Amino acid sequence: MPNLAQVMKAEIARVARRTLRREFGATRRTAVQNRRDIAELKRQVKDLTRRVDFLETQEKRRVARPAAEAPPQGVRFSPRWVKAQRDRLGLSAAELGRLMGVSTLTVYNWESGKSRPRQEALAALVAVRRMGRREARKRLEMLSE
């Protein structure tokens, strides 16, 4: 016949393990969720840091080129030029309009030769001419957000 003390000790250990497993299970689930949250926050911080770096470089470029803000001197306008820039950047007329702060119809009118851009829009066209595809897409992405 087994010793009563041994049986009691084994039963107490079994109940203690069961209770600890239940308690640690909830803690383990909480820890897993916390790790997921931390990983998501790290991704967000990385994305925001990337965006801030991009904006800082754009601001440095803008400050370094104060002449680009002034109306351009000696810049000729051609409807084919607008279309060529739009094709080069791979943008629709709506996207180019949003990038420059004008309507889609205005871009179409420029391309068809029905109208000519004002000085501010001509300065924006000159700025678009200096842009690359990636930069144009990034600016459009920022404008949409």
**What's the pTM value of the predicted model, to 2 decimals?**
0.53
Amino acid symbol at 25: G
Q: Mapping DSSP to helix (H, G, I), strand (E, B) and coil, where does residue 42 land?
A: helix
Contact between 75 and 122 under an 8 Å Cβ cutoff? The reply is yes
Amino acid symbol at 32: V
Answer yes or no: is pLDDT of 63 > 70.
no
Q: Which of 64, 89, 107 is the last residue of a domain?
A: 64
Is 87 in the same domain as 19? Answer: no
Q: Which of 20, 39, 64 is the last residue of a domain?
A: 64
Tokens in use for 131? 């842009």
Contact between 52 and 101 under an 8 Å Cβ cutoff? The reply is no
Name the domain count of the chain. Answer: 2
Give the range of the structural domain holding residue 107, as residue numbers without chain letter: 68-144
For residue range 90-113, list pLDDT tens digits in order. 999 999 998 888 999 999 999 999
